Amino acid sequence: MRINPASAVDWGAEIRRFRRLRAIKQVTLAEMLGVDQATVSRWEGNRQAPDLGMQRRLRALMQGAGARDEALVRHWVENAVGDTALIDARRTLVCGSATFLARHGIDVPTPAELSTIGMFSEELDRAWWYAVERGLFEGEVASVTVIGRLNLLSGDGSLASRSTWVPIALSSGEVLCRLDTVILGDSDPLGSISNTIQLVTMAELGG
């Protein structure tokens, strides 16, 4: 029997994953493809498969603009005004804002394969693995906000901080995590709160 390779693709799962990573609703994707929301719903439920022409459009959409998208993400992070970093699932630093690099005593250009694991105190490390288990890199999590002690990579101690972690899906399929951090002063009432985490799922956003 002749098998069509395209039939091996689980389009329902692929489309759901793409929407969650890009944080878009069915109706938005439908408008991008020129179909109605009911059609997207049937695809995701595997009640109907996209035709060959639509499969090509979906693949092109999922691949995005390639290196251009990734360069734009780096630009956003490197030119952020605040304390911002982009890391991968292994917590290796991809890039950081000038404020982030200066705070942690990191040279420019950023050394290759620089791990940020040391930046995570015990409480932040617990929050990280909690978020990973909930699907931080699988398109299930929209954002994580955590309050706790942040270790400086320079080794010069730790600071009370509030960080928001947001997954960023690249066109290659890799998912990175953007960290936006605010350092809490001694006078800040949040500075005395530790091990506080707020996780928002894509399901809560209706995605």
93 and 151 within one domain: yes
- Residues of the chain with pLDDT > 70, as a percent, come to 84
180 and 82 within one domain: yes
103 and 173 within one domain: yes
* Domain membership of residue 43 as a residue range: 5-63
For residue 23, what pLDDT band results from cuts at 50, 70 and 90?
A: low
pLDDT at 67: 57
Q: For the domain that residue 190 is a member of, what is the CATH number? A: 3.30.450.20
pLDDT digit string, tens, across residues 177-201: 999 999 987 555 444 445 589 999 9
pLDDT above 60 for 3: no
Number of CB atoms found within 10 A of residue 154's CB: 12
pLDDT digit string, tens, across residues 86-118: 999 999 999 999 999 999 999 888 788 899 999
35 and 134 within one domain: no
pLDDT at 171: 65
124 and 94 within one domain: yes
Mean pLDDT for the chain?
A: 85
Number of domains into which the chain is organized: 2
pLDDT at 187: 52
136 and 57 within one domain: no
79 and 19 within one domain: no
DSSP code of 27? H
pLDDT: which is higher, 122 or 60: 122
Classify residue 88: in a domain, yes or no: yes
149 and 108 within one domain: yes
27 and 73 within one domain: no
Continuous H helices in the chain: 11-22, 26-33, 37-44, 52-63, 67-78, 98-103, 122-133
47 and 80 within one domain: no
Number of CB atoms found within 10 A of residue 1's CB: 2
pLDDT: which is higher, 63 or 32: 32
CA 38 to chain centre: 28
Give the C-alpha separation, 15 to 38, whole Å.
14
pLDDT at 2: 33
Least confident span in 1-10, 71-80, 109-118: 1-10
Q: Are strands 141-151 and 93-96 parallel, antiparallel or unpaired?
A: unpaired
Name the β-bridge partners of 146: 163, 197
Give the C-alpha separation, 95 to 78, whole Å.
7
pLDDT above 90 for 68: no
Give the C-alpha separation, 62 to 66, whole Å.
10
Q: Which letter, b or e, does each residue of 133-144 get, where b requires 16 or more Cβ atoms within 10 Å of its Cβ?
A: eebbbebbbbbb
pLDDT at 191: 44
132 and 40 within one domain: no
pLDDT: which is higher, 205 or 48: 48
Q: What is the SS3 assignment for 182?
A: strand
Which bin fits 63, alpha (ψ -120 to 50), beta or left (φ > 0)?
alpha
Give the C-alpha separation, 89 to 202, whole Å.
19
For residue 70, what pLDDT band results from cuts at 50, 70 and 90?
A: confident
